[in-house]
Amino acid sequence: MARETKQATGNGMPAAVDYRRLMSLSSANVDALMKASEAMMKGIAKLNEEIVSFTNSRFKEQIEGSRAIAQCDNWSDAVEQHMTMARSATEQYLAEASRLANLAAEVTMASWAPFQSYLHERLSETPRAERRAEK
């Protein structure tokens, strides 16, 4: 037999369900979810734009570096040019990783903000609703 989940009132009858409040909470929850999804999609688009831009610039620099190596007169110049390219690429990849991490943190914060405000509003309403129920 299924266990009764409704709480009983003082007279032994099940407590009435406030369907309007339930619908209000559901509506606010869906609204928070939609806002969070929108923020996430905008953030992902921004991340993708950053990745494409970085990849494009690295590709161009790699082609220019390869040309410079091909034009070297001796092996020591070619190795030096290659080392310069490698050092530059490493610095750029580390800087890009930092930018992407910061963007990812921004996206995460932006997508959680609607839920935080939703929870804050509901938690601040709860004591008022309990005080009204006690009267």
What is the per-residue pLDDT across 5-16, written as a single tens digit (0 to 9) for each?
445 455 666 677
**Does 114 fall in a domain?**
yes
**Does 56 fall in a domain?**
yes
- CB-CB neighbours of 62 under 10 Å: 12
What are the start-end ranges of the H helices in the chain? 19-70, 75-134
Specify the pLDDT at position 129. 55
Where residue 116 falls among pLDDT bands split at 50, 70, 90?
confident
Total domain count, the chain? 1
- Residues of the chain with pLDDT > 90, as a percent, come to 58
Q: Which residues pair with 8 in a beta bridge?
A: 14
Domain holding 123, by residue range, is 32-134
d(CA 59, CA 113): 37
DSSP state of 114: H
**Does 49 fall in a domain?**
yes
**Does 90 fall in a domain?**
yes
d(CA 81, CA 89): 12
